[in-house]
A and B are shown apart, each in its own frame.
Chain A
Amino acid sequence: MADPKPRVKVPNTAKAGEVITIKTLIDHKMESGFRKDKKGELIPQQIINKFTAEFNGKPVFSADLRPAVSANPYFQFTVKVAESGTFKFTWVDDNGSSYTDEKTIKVEG
């Protein structure tokens, strides 16, 4: 399977001190470990188990995920931005890989 593709929405600009909304989504089947294949054997669990958002290197939001999070895990959350900078988003897969995406924001005033 090709690497899951993250999709992130961050506003391009904001005013200093503004609370912005960020939306993130990543393509991932979030195999729950409860499903069975055609032979009736359990398909092993493989999920995104951790999501983190950093702003200029500082953690601002993170989530620990369990199999009850839907496929293609989606998060919407807020961040109060005081300065221009870069958001870095990381998703950690049960198989040890991690997927990242970055977005910059310009803060005025």
Chain B
Amino acid sequence: MHMTRRQAIGLGVGAAALILAGPALTPALAAGPTADEAIKAFTGGAEAKAAKVSLSTPEIAENGNTVPISFSVESPMTSDDHVTEVMLLADGNPRPGVATFHFSDMSGEASASTRIRLAKTQNIVAVAKMSDGSFFMDKKLVKVTIGGCGG
């Protein structure tokens, strides 16, 4: 096969990326519930509808060590109708759980921002639990250039 100079460089970069990603994927550490299992445990098997939650993430994260994430959930946030919890998951991390936020009727809005670590390109999932026991979710893909779980 004849390769142009450009293709050769592209291959080199790809190989370097693979080498960098390698140590992050230590299988022994990856034990634990998967993202789907974690969602099931959170909802008790109830279906989380893809509505009401809006997750805002960068499309491309250059540095997986600190990826800004924010979410908001549509809710009047009154004492009898509010969001009680929001669980954030990263399905491609060695352990998918990121954080769980607890809201109250004094929260005013069900929204929060934080910064998280992502080991590689993956989906971020936010699942919201409402005070009436229903669940809603949103999912966004984040492309990660440099993973953030050490190695």
Contact = CB atoms under 8 A, between A and B. Distances in A.
A26 interface: no
Contact of B95 (A35, A68, A75): A68
A34 B99 contact: no
B103 to A, nearest CB: 6
A61 B102 contact: yes
25 contacts: A19-B108, A32-B150, A55-B106, A60-B104, A60-B106, A61-B104, A62-B102, A63-B100, A63-B101, A63-B102, A66-B95, A66-B97, A67-B95, A68-B90, A68-B116, A69-B114, A70-B115, A70-B117, A73-B114, A73-B115, A76-B114, A77-B107, A77-B111, A78-B109, A80-B107
B136 to A, nearest CB: 19
Contact of B107 (A61, A67, A71, A75): A61
B31 interface: no
B125 interface: no
A30 B97 CA distance: 15
Contacts, number: 103
A58 interface: yes
B150 A36 contact: yes
